[in-house]
Amino acid sequence: MAKTWREWEKPVLELEDVIQKLKQALPTASPEQAAQIEHEIERAERARENYLRIKYSRLGAWERTLISRAEGRPYTLDYIRAIVSDWVELHGDRRFGDDKAIIGGLGKIGETSCVIVGHQKGRDLKERKLRNFGMAKPEGYRKAIRLFDMADRFQLPVVAFIDTPAADPGVESESRGISEAIAAGMMKMFSLRVPAVAVVIGEGGSGGAIGIGAANRVLMLEHSIYSVIPPEGCAAILWRNADAGPQAAAALKLTAQDALELGLIDEIIPEAFGGAHRGPAETAQNVEQAITRHINGLASMSGEQLKLDRRTKYRNMGVFAVHGGSESLPFSTAPAQSS
Amino acid sequence: MAKTWREWEKPVLELEDVIQKLKQALPTASPEQAAQIEHEIERAERARENYLRIKYSRLGAWERTLISRAEGRPYTLDYIRAIVSDWVELHGDRRFGDDKAIIGGLGKIGETSCVIVGHQKGRDLKERKLRNFGMAKPEGYRKAIRLFDMADRFQLPVVAFIDTPAADPGVESESRGISEAIAAGMMKMFSLRVPAVAVVIGEGGSGGAIGIGAANRVLMLEHSIYSVIPPEGCAAILWRNADAGPQAAAALKLTAQDALELGLIDEIIPEAFGGAHRGPAETAQNVEQAITRHINGLASMSGEQLKLDRRTKYRNMGVFAVHGGSESLPFSTAPAQSS
Amino acid sequence: MQVKPDVFLRCAKCAKVLFSKELAKNLKVCPHCDHHHRLTAEERIACTFDENSFQELDADLISCDPLEFPDYEQKLARGSKATGRHDSIVRGIARIDGNEVSTAVADFGFMGGSMGSVAGEKITRTLELAAENRIPAVVFTASGGARMQEGLISLMQMAKTAAACELLSENGVPHICVFTDPTMAGVLASYASLADIILAEPGALVGFAGARVSAQAGVANVPKDFQTSEFNLNHGMIDDVVHRKTLRSTLSAIVGHFTRKR
Amino acid sequence: MQVKPDVFLRCAKCAKVLFSKELAKNLKVCPHCDHHHRLTAEERIACTFDENSFQELDADLISCDPLEFPDYEQKLARGSKATGRHDSIVRGIARIDGNEVSTAVADFGFMGGSMGSVAGEKITRTLELAAENRIPAVVFTASGGARMQEGLISLMQMAKTAAACELLSENGVPHICVFTDPTMAGVLASYASLADIILAEPGALVGFAGARVSAQAGVANVPKDFQTSEFNLNHGMIDDVVHRKTLRSTLSAIVGHFTRKR
Ligand SMILES: [Zn+2]
Ligand SMILES: [Zn+2]
C-alpha cells in the first residue's frame, strides 16, 4: 500500500503532468497538431476527472491519512491569507521564545475581529525546518494561551486551525514542560467566556492537536484526520510493525467521518473536488462559511453559557457501562455490557 | 570609610573574639587566674556593650547598608526555621526551572497557614553560588507568581521576605524576560484578594525587591535598606566614582527610617541589640509578632477591600506639584512648587 | 500492605535479593538502592490514608469496546484478572490525619494504567466531588498515557479531565497530584500537570514522549536523568521529589494547610 | 514633524550625511542604513495620530525634589529647557483612524526619559483614563529607567504603574505599548512589559540591566544583538518589530480590532 500521498496519487499526478505538458506545447503547435493536442488534453482531463472521482469516492482511513499530510495541502497561513483581513501576527510567549510551529494573531473573518491561532507546517525544506514540521514546543502552546487570554479579556472569538503530526517530542520540549503546556492550553480554553471554533485542516495529531482544540465547535475538513496516536506509532506498538499503518489507521477510526459518527466533532467541511490541494480557494471559502456560521451561532450565548457549553460538550465524551447493571448513562453512547 | 560590614564592625568583632578566648581559657585556669579572667571578661563585655550602644545609636545610611549585607545576618530560611511550622517548600515555575534565589512554600505562622516566598542568599561560598547571591532570575519571580496565584485561589495570606542586592542582570535572565517577570510579579500581587505582608529583612534591591514586594503592609527591619539603585551604582553614575557609595547612600535616603518618614513603608521592626546577627532568635520573634499582627489586622477586610487597599496604597505614592498652580494634591506629600 | 507468604524477590533496579515481607514493611522501597517499586492501588491506599477511611466509589464502571478494536476485549479481561478490578483507576473518599479528600489512585497493572473512557470518567468524578464538597483532590498517577484502543475517544479524555481541573481551579479547591512510576504522555499532558501541587516519587519515569516515539523522531543527546522525577524537579515542573517514607506526612501537611481555611 | 531650516546632519549609526528636511520627511529613519533616530514627543504624536486629534492632559504637572537630591533641580531645569516641557511624559487623548485612545509618549530628551513621580503619575492617569472610557491605551516608551534622584519614591512608581496595568487588565481594556530607543530597567520592568500587545522599533535598546550594571556584575558572552528589539522578539518577549513606516497602520489595525467590539 502507498506510504505517501505522492505515491498514492501517482497515476493522477502523472496525468496532471501530461496535461500540463500538452498545454505548454499548444502555443507553438501547428493548427493540425493543435487540434490533436486539444483532443488529447480533453481525453486526459476526462481520465483525470474519472480517476479522481473514483479514487476520492472510496477513501479508506489510510488514504485520508495520506491526503491529510499531502505536501500541497493548504496550511494555516494559506487559510489566513485567503479569508482573514487586517491580519496582525503576534509573536512570543513572553517567557522563553517565539515558536514558529504555532502562529497567532488578530484578524477579521467576515466582519468579526478574532484571535486566530494555528499550527503551521512549512512548504519547502527550509521553512519546514523553521516550522519544525508543525510540531510545536511548549512556547508555542504558551503563546496560544497568551492570545486566548487576550481574546477572553477583550471579548474576541477564538479560531484555531489544527494541523500537526504531534507536539515536539525532543529533549528541549520535555525540559520546558511540553506536557504542562498542552494541558494548560486545554484548561485555558475551558475557561474562555468567548466563542471558540477549531478546524482540523490536516493532521489532528493527538496531544499536540487537542492542546489548542478544546473549542465549542470542532469542525474537520473532509480529508483531515484526528487521532490519539499516529497510525504508524500505533502499528509499531500493537503490531510491532510500523508498516502496519493502514491496519492501524482503520482500527483507530481517525477520519472526519468516524469522528462525526462517534459524536466527537460537530461538522465536516467539504473540500474541493480532488482534495483541498486541488482547490484551495474553494476549500477556503467553505472553511470561512463554516467558521462564520458557527461563530454567529454562538454569538447569542453569554460568556457563562459558552463556558458551560464547552465543559458539557467534553464532559459527555466517553463510552462506558456499569458492571452487571443498567444505570442510566447519559454520557455514554454505548449499551451497558457485562465484563 | 568602611567598605564592608566586617571592616566597620572590626573593633567589636575583635572584642568579641577576645571575650570568646577568655571564656575558653576559663575551665583550665587556676582559681586565682579564673578570678582575673572573669574580671577581664566582665570588663570586655562592658566595653563591647558600650561600643555597640554608641555605634548602633548613630548609624548613617552607609552603615545601615553595610549591616543589611552582613554575612552573619539571618536570611529568609532562618526566619522560616524560626517562626514557621509545617513548612513545605514548593519548587519550580512549571515553565523552565527552579530558581534557588527565591524560595517559596506553605507554612503556618502562628495559627495561620500562609504562602511564604522570599529571596534567599547563601551562607557559604557554595551556597552563595547556588543561590546566585540572592539575585533571582525570571523563573524565581514566576515561581513566586505561581504561589501567589495559589494563595489567592485557596485564600491563604501571602508573606514575602525581601533580601536581594538586585535581580540577576545576566544574559540568560534578559533572554527569558527578567523585566517581564518582575513586572508580572507586581501585577499579580495587585490582583490578590488575600492579605499580603512584605518584610524587608536585609537588602531591598530595586526591581528585584519590588517584584515580590507590592504588599498591603510593607515592614522593614531596623537595619535593612530599600533602594531604587545600589548606592555604589548610583555613585558610579552620578559621581563617576563607585567609592562615593556613602555619599550616594545618604542622598538616596535608603534606610528604613527614611522610608517610614517618606510614607513608603508601614512599620519598622526592631532588631536585637547590636543587630539581627547578634540576636537572631529575638529578631525572629519580633518579625513573627509584626507579621501576625498585620495579618490579623487585615483579616477583617474582604478580598475586594484588600485589593483596593493595595491599589490605593501605591496609587498614592509620588511627590509632584502643579506648575504655577495650587491644585489640591492628595497624593503628594510635598508642597506645590513652581519650576 | 498485602503480605503474602514470605518469598525471595529481586530488586528491579539493583537486583539484590529481598524478602517480600521485609520489602512490604519498607513500603516496597529497596533497602539497598532505595528503588521505589510500584504499588498496587490497594497498597497505595493502605499506606496513604487513615485506617479504614477509604470508601471506594464507582468500582463498577467498566470499559466498552466502542471501536471494536483488535484484541481490546482480551486485554481488558487480562487487566481485570491481574488486578481484580474493572479498570485502571480506583477512586473514592478518604482521610489523611482526619482531613477528608477526594482521591483517585491508578493501578499500572491494568493495561499499563492507560486512560480510556472509564479512567477519564473516574478522574473527572474525583475532581467534581472535590469541587462539590470543597475538599482537596489527591490523585496518584501511574500510566503509560491515553488508551489507544479507544481511539479519539481516549484523546478526548484529556480534554474532559482538563475541563474538570478548570472547574476545580475556578472553585478554589486544591488539586494535589503524586506522580508514581510511570506518568507519561496523555496523562502527564492533561490532569496530572494541571495539579496545583505536584509531588513525585524518586526515580519515577515522567515524560511526554515514549521511548519509541523519541527514537522514531531521532531524539538525540538525551541527558542521563531524562524523563525522571528528578529531571522534572530540576526543570521546575514539579514541586518536589518525596521519598515514600515521608510522602504521607508531606501530603498530610499540604492537605492540612488547605483544609484549615475552609 | 517639526522642520527647522535645512541643515546637514550625520546619521547616528552609519555616519552618512543627511539633510534634516529629508530625514524629517523619512520619519527620521536614515535612508541609507534604516537607523531609526529618536523622535521628540511632538514628532511622535504628529506621525502617529489623526491630524489635530491629540489633546494634551496634565501638561502642568511638575517634579519636586523631595529628597533634596544633589543637582536634581538643575537637571530638571535643563530637561525643561531641552524639551520645553515639565517632565518626560506627554499624555493625552487622541485618535487613530477615528478610533479614540488614551495615550502617553515619552521624551528621552527630558532626563533620559527617566520615571519619577510625575512620569509615574501621568502613566497611571493614562491607564486609568483608558479603563474609565473603555478605550485602548497606547503608550510609547523611551527611558533609561527609574529616576534615582527621587530614590525609593521612584521605585514605587514601578508598583504604582503596575497597579494601573492590573486595573486595565481587570476591566478588559487593551494596553498597547511601543518600545522606542531606549526602553530600559525600571520602565521595562513595570508598565512597559505589562502591555497586552508590545511592538518595538527596529534596533531600539531594550533591556533590564544597564551596560554599567552588567559590566560591574561581570556579565560575559554577550550576544551581538543583546538588548535590542530583535533580541527581544527572538526570545518571545514582544509581539513584533515594526518599521516606523508601517507602525501607524499596524497600530491602527490593532486598535481597530480592539475597538469594534465595544
Ligand atoms: Zn535495589
Ligand atoms: Zn544611517
Q: What is the pLDDT of residues B296-309, one digit of tens each?
A: 999 999 999 999 99
- D78-103: per-residue pLDDT in tens? 999 999 999 999 999 999 999 999 99
Long-range Cβ pairs for the range A6-13 (8 Å, 24+): A6/A70, A6/A71, A7/A66, A8/A63, A8/A66, A9/A55, A9/A70, A11/A51, A12/A48, A12/A51, A12/A52, A12/A55, A12/A274
Does D90 lie in the same domain as D103? yes
Q: Both ends of chain B: CA-CA distance in Å?
A: 37
Are both C164 and C212 inside the same structural domain? yes
Chain A (121-150) residues lying within 8 Å, Cβ to Cβ, of chain D: 139, 143, 150
Q: What share of chain C is helix, strand, coil (3-state, %, to 5)?
A: 40, 25, 35
Tens-digit pLDDT profile for residues B58-97? 899 999 999 999 989 999 999 999 999 999 999 999 999 9
pLDDT values of chain A reduced to their tens digit, one per residue, 339 residues:
788 999 998 989 999 999 999 999 988 888 888 999 999 999 999 999 999 999 898 899 999 999 999 989 999 999 999 999 999 999 999 999 999 999 999 999 999 999 999 999 999 999 999 999 999 999 999 999 999 999 999 999 999 999 999 999 999 999 999 999 999 999 999 999 999 999 999 999 999 999 999 999 999 999 999 999 999 999 998 888 878 999 999 999 999 999 999 999 999 999 999 999 999 999 999 999 999 999 999 999 999 999 999 999 999 999 999 987 654 343 443 333 333
- Using CA atoms, how far apart are residues A174 and A180, in angstroms rounded to an integer? 9
Residue A220 corresponds to which amino acid? M
Clarify whether residues C30 and C150 are in a common domain: no
Three-class DSSP category at B49: helix
Cβ neighbourhood burial of B122 (10 Å; 0-12, 13-18, 19+): middle
Find how far residue C254's CA is from the centre of its chain. Answer: 18
C-alpha cell recorded at residue A175: 525540559
pLDDT of residue C57: 97
CATH topology of domain B67-315: 2-enoyl-CoA Hydratase; Chain A, domain 1 (3.90.226)
Identity of the residue in C71, C121, C166 whose CB atom sits nearest the CB atom of A187 = C166
C170 Cβ neighbours under 8 A, 6+ residues apart: A191
* Closest chain A residue to C70, measured at CA: A251
Number of domains present in the structure of chain D: 2
Q: Which-ligand-closest: CA of C26?
A: 1
Tell me the ligand closest to D12's alpha carbon. 2
SS3 C209: coil
Phi, psi of C176 (to 5 degrees): -115, 135
Task: Express each pLDDT in D36-69 by its tens digit.
Answer: 999 999 999 999 999 999 999 999 999 999 999 9
Position D228 pLDDT exceeds 80: yes
Q: Are residues D8 and D45 in the same domain?
A: no
Q: What is the pLDDT of residues B176-232, one digit of tens each?
A: 999 999 999 999 999 999 999 999 999 999 999 999 999 999 999 999 999 999 999
| Spatial distance between the Cα atoms of A287 and A71, rounded to a whole number of angstroms | 19
Q: Which residues of B touch D193 (CB under 8 A)?
A: 177, 179-180, 183-184
| Residue C102 confidence class, pLDDT cut points 50, 70, 90 | very high
Chains that touch A (3 or more CB pairs under 8 A): B, C, D
Q: Are residues C136 and C22 in the same domain?
A: no
The per-residue pLDDT for A58 is: 85
Set of cell numbers at residue C172:
478554589
The conformation of residue C56, written as its DSSP 8-state character, comes to: E
**Residues counted in chain A:** 339
User: Which listed ligand is nearest to D30 at the C-alpha?
Assistant: 2
Cα separation, C181 vs A5, in Å, equals 40
Element (H, E) at C142: strand C137-143
Shared domain for D134 and D9, answered yes or no, is no
Both D147 and D101 in one domain: the answer is yes
CB contact under 8 A, A262 and C153: yes
Q: What's the pLDDT score for residue D4? A: 57
Residues of C in contact with A211 (CB under 8 A): 189
Q: Which of D253, D254, D256, D200 is nearest to D231 (CA)?
A: D200
Q: How far is it, in rounded angstroms, from Cα A14 to Cα A16?
A: 5
Residue C51 pLDDT greater than 60, yes or no: yes
Work out the average pLDDT over C121-140. Answer: 98
In this prediction, residue B334 carries a pLDDT of 36
Residue C236 and residue B93: Cβ atoms within 8 Å? yes
Residues in chain D: 262
Contact B198, B213 (CB under 8 A): yes
Residue C68 has pLDDT above 90, yes or no: yes
pLDDT in the model for residue C262: 43
Asked if pLDDT for residue B333 goes beyond 90, the answer is no
Expressed in angstroms and rounded, the spacing between residue D6 Cα and the centre of ligand 2 is 18
Distance A89 CA to ligand 2 centre (A): 28
Confidence band, pLDDT 50/70/90 cuts, at residue D260: low
Residue C20: domain span? 1-37
Sign of CA dihedral A77, A80, A85, A89: negative
- Check whether D256 has a pLDDT greater than 90: yes
User: At D220, is the pLDDT very low, low, confident or very high (cuts 50, 70, 90)?
Assistant: confident
**C72, C75, C148: best to mutate for the A interface, most A CBs within 10 A:** C148
Beta bridge partners of C143: C183
What residue spans of chain A are helical by DSSP H? 5-8, 10-25, 31-57, 61-68, 76-83, 125-130, 138-154, 171-175, 178-191, 206-210, 231-238, 245-252, 256-261, 280-298, 303-315
Band the pLDDT of B326: cuts 50, 70, 90.
Answer: low
Q: Judging by DSSP bridges, how do beta strands C240-241 and B84-89 pair with one another?
A: unpaired
Nearest chain D Cα to A108, which residue? D257
Contact by Cβ (8 Å): D110, D122:
no
| pLDDT for position C3 | 47
Q: Which helix (H) or strand (E) holds B82?
A: helix B76-83
- Ligand closest to the CA atom of residue D26: 2
For D13-40, how does the pLDDT look when each residue is reduced to its tens digit (9 = 90+)? 999 999 988 999 999 999 999 999 999 9
pLDDT band, residue D5 (cuts 50/70/90)? low
* Phi and psi angles of residue D171, each rounded to the nearest 5 degrees, phi first: -90, 5
Q: How do the domains of chain B map onto residue ranges?
A: 5-58, 67-315
CA of C111 to the centre of ligand 1 (A): 25
B207 touches chain D (CB under 8 A): yes
Instruction: Give ∠ CA C62-A239-C146 in degrees, rounded to 5.
Output: 40
Amino acid at C159: A
Please report which confidence band the pLDDT of residue D1 belongs to, taking 50, 70 and 90 as the band edges.
very low
Q: What is the mean pLDDT of residues B11-16?
A: 91
Q: Which residues, 6 or more positions from B240, have their beta carbon under 8 angstroms from its beta carbon?
A: none
- Residues in chain B closer than 8 A to D196 (CB atoms): none
How close is the Cα of C35 to the center of ligand 1, in Å?
A: 5
Q: Does D90 lie in the same domain as D23? A: no
Between the CA of residue D97 and those of A84, A85, D51, D104, D249, what are the distances in Å?
20, 17, 10, 18, 9
> What confidence score (pLDDT) does residue C220 get?
75
Q: How many CB pairs under 8 A join A and B?
A: 22
Cβ atoms of C261 and B154 within 8 Å: the answer is: yes
3-state secondary structure of A225: strand
Question: Are residues D8 and D50 part of one domain?
Answer: no
Residues C196-225 have pLDDT tens digits of 999 999 999 999 998 776 776 777 778 999
- The average pLDDT across C36-43 equals 96
User: Is D256–A86 a contact, with Cβ atoms under 8 angstroms apart?
Assistant: yes
Lowest mean pLDDT among A274-283, C128-137, D185-194, D221-230: D221-230
Touching check for B173 and chain D: CB below 8 Å?
Answer: yes
- Cα D176 to chain centroid distance, Å, stands at 11
Both D52 and D18 in one domain: the answer is no
Put simply, the answer to whether D226 touches B174 (Cβ < 8 Å) is yes
pLDDT of residue C247: 98
Q: Which residue has the cell 511627590?
A: B319
Q: In 10 A of CB D199, how many CB atoms?
A: 25
Q: For residues C148 and C214, state if they share a domain.
A: yes
Q: Is the confidence at residue D211, as pLDDT, over 60? A: yes
Say if C223 is an interface residue toward chain B (CB within 8 Å).
no
Amino acid at B178: I
Are residues D42 and D32 part of one domain?
A: no
Q: Which residue has the higher pLDDT, C145 or A238?
A: C145
Does residue C33 carry a pLDDT above 50?
Answer: yes
CATH number at residue D56: 3.90.226.10
Region of residue D25 (phi > 0: left; psi between -120 and 50: alpha; otherwise: beta):
alpha
Cα A290 to Cα D140: distance, rounded to the nearest angstrom? 40
